Amino acid sequence: MASFELDSTLVLLCLVFVVSCFAVVVRGSGTGRKYGVRAVPPGPLALPIIGNLHKLGGAHPHRSLQGLARRHGPLFLLHLGSVPTVVVSSASLAEALLRTQDHVFCSRPQPYTARGTLYGCRDIAFSPYGEKWRQIRRIAVVHLLSMKRVDSFRALRVEEVARFVQRIGAASGRERVDVSELIIDLTNTVISKAAFGNKLGGMEPATVRDMMKELTVLLGTIAVSDVFPRLGWLDWAMGLDARVKRTAARLDTVVERTLAEHEGNRVKDGEACDLLDDLLSIYKDGDQGFKLDRTDVKALILDMFIAGTDTIYKTIEWTMAELVRNPREMAKVQYEVRLHAAASAQGVVLEEELEKMSLLHAAIKEALRLHPPVPLLIPRESIEDTRLHGYDILAKTRVMVNTWAIGRDSESWENAEEFLPERFIGQAMEYNGKDTRFIPFGAGRRGCPGIAFGTRLVELTLANMMYHFDWKLPNGQDIESFELIESSGLSPGLKSALILAVKPL
């Protein structure tokens, strides 16, 4: 789902400094004290005021949290400022939380930046659990992201992947091709055209792309008020409030203009419609007695962008990087793709053939196991008091599920750190989260509704990269020196762009 670019070191330093200057003691009145009389989950000692904020670690919170799980167990409690947060790091606890007690851990906290930019969290991903969330999620699942709707975008995918193949073809023979840039461009274009078609209200596609980038950066920023609810004024003093308002106003202008163009230019019979057209019909006619309002439409369409672009692009990029680092695996996948693929008139591998490519699917799953694009899922919040693993968890406790650590847990995976796609062959381990050893899309009622939309583009893109081209590291670089270093933030991609030498088949 969303990309979280979080410079947590800077945020933490500012927090520690500013908060200690004002010496406001908030822990005493926090939920931490309420935990005192109950079976409290274990966890590291909390410092005054900041609690365990410093334990999140600067660049890679999922790694720091894995380290803490090794010390404190698969379920432990942190105090992020004054907010109690439970962290879960094993498949069996994920099963208990996301499946058995899904009805308890089904809400989300509403971060400050999401409230400010997503119309008070009226989207799906940040919406609190309740009737409204149920209705908008149903609309997304039935109308926007269903298998039938995903199929209806086949022509769009084929056209854009054909353009992508041509662009790589034009660069082939060169020693250094920026593969990351080409993948980002492809995923942005597909999502933008699926959501808005070509009706961008007179805006350049690049403007829309920049706006969405700004939004994802902002959504990855932890506000002071998220961890110290009583110190909201610091968000204003530190300029975050102004930044959120500025971004929200610009986004709203963009979405309003595209909405107006869609309203003035309704689809005629037989014409392809985009997701905004779908939402506008529901806005006009209602759906099973439920009426969307204009703000719901805007929040929902933004959700498709934030949830879809970075996740898809990072999945393709990590799979490609792992295949390049493991040339034997790449050769096997390439052999399989070339054996089964038949190309369409545009020279693109046909989607119908993808089903036969089990090794390609296995390679994607293996990349998602090692590099889930949302390594801590989207935080959950409990809606009532409950017991988990023998501990009391109070209502409104935040929960993080470390899917990154679960994917690398040696209890569940042999040679867990190695890229071995064949481990998925013959395993009934799908993306739906039924087996909680593998949950890159989350699980349960808040699990990702965009699985089919996302995986179809990932598979088609990679099949074409394998079918048409041979790939290797540039300038004779050897495999041993090719390290896969993660970027910082809560949704890490590759730290540096993936630069490869490419040769057409």
Annotated binding site: 448
Can you tell me the distance from the alpha carbon of 402 to that of 64, in angstroms, rounded to the nearest whole number? Answer: 10
Asked if 393 touches ligand HEM (CB under 6 A), the answer is no
Of the pair 363, 443, the CB lying nearest ligand HEM is at: 443
Can you tell me the distance from the alpha carbon of 242 to that of 384, in angstroms, rounded to the nearest whole number? Answer: 35
Can you tell me the distance from the alpha carbon of 505 to that of 495, in angstroms, rounded to the nearest whole number? Answer: 29
Closest CA relative to residue 405, chosen from 79, 98, 74: 74
Q: Which of 19, 168, 234, 377 binds ligand HEM (CB under 6 A)?
A: 377
Q: Which of 84, 373, 407, 489 binds ligand HEM (CB under 6 A)?
A: 373
Can you tell me the distance from the alpha carbon of 303 to that of 297, in angstroms, rounded to the nearest whole number? Answer: 10
Q: Which of 308, 407, 421, 489 binds ligand HEM (CB under 6 A)?
A: 308
Residues 6+ apart with CB under 8 A from 446: 102, 106, 108, 378, 380
Classified as helix, coil or strand, 159 is helix
Of the pair 238, 452, the CB lying nearest ligand HEM is at: 452
Asked if 197 touches ligand HEM (CB under 6 A), the answer is no
Asked if 448 touches ligand HEM (CB under 6 A), the answer is yes
Of the pair 306, 501, the CB lying nearest ligand HEM is at: 306
- Comparing every residue's Cβ against ligand HEM, the nearest one is 442
Q: Which of 374, 399, 494, 498 binds ligand HEM (CB under 6 A)?
A: 374
The least distance separating ligand HEM from the CB of residue 300, rounded to whole angstroms, comes to 8
Using the rule CB under 6 A, give the single segment among 321-329, 334-342, 442-450, 472-480 that binds ligand HEM: 442-450
Q: How far is CA 304 from CA 2, 20, 185, 357, in A?
A: 10, 40, 16, 28
Measured from the Cβ of residue 16, the count of other Cβ atoms closer than 10 Å reads: 15
Asked if 124 touches ligand HEM (CB under 6 A), the answer is yes
Note every long-range contact of 393-399, with CB atoms under 8 Å and residues 24 or more positions apart, other chains counting.
393/41, 393/86, 394/31, 394/34, 394/35, 394/38, 394/84, 396/31, 397/31, 397/84, 397/85, 397/86, 398/80, 398/83, 398/84, 398/85, 398/86, 398/109, 399/85, 399/86, 399/87, 399/88, 399/97, 399/105
Asked if 279 touches ligand HEM (CB under 6 A), the answer is no
Phi, psi of 73 (to 5 degrees): 105, 175
- Side-chain half-sphere exposure of 190, counting CA atoms within 13 A: 31
The least distance separating ligand HEM from the CB of residue 29, rounded to whole angstroms, comes to 29
Of the pair 102, 422, the CB lying nearest ligand HEM is at: 102
Using the rule CB under 6 A, give the single segment among 166-174, 230-238, 335-343, 369-377 that binds ligand HEM: 369-377
For the segment 449-468, give every residue that binds ligand HEM (CB under 6 A): 449-450, 453-454, 458
Q: Which of 137, 157, 193, 371 binds ligand HEM (CB under 6 A)?
A: 137
The least distance separating ligand HEM from the CB of residue 192, rounded to whole angstroms, comes to 12
Per-residue contact flags (x/-) with ligand HEM for residues 139 to 168, judged by CB under 6 A: ------x-----------------------
- Residues in contact with ligand HEM by CB under 6 A are 1, 124-125, 137, 145, 303-304, 307-308, 311-312, 315, 373-374, 377-378, 440-443, 446-450, 453-454, 458
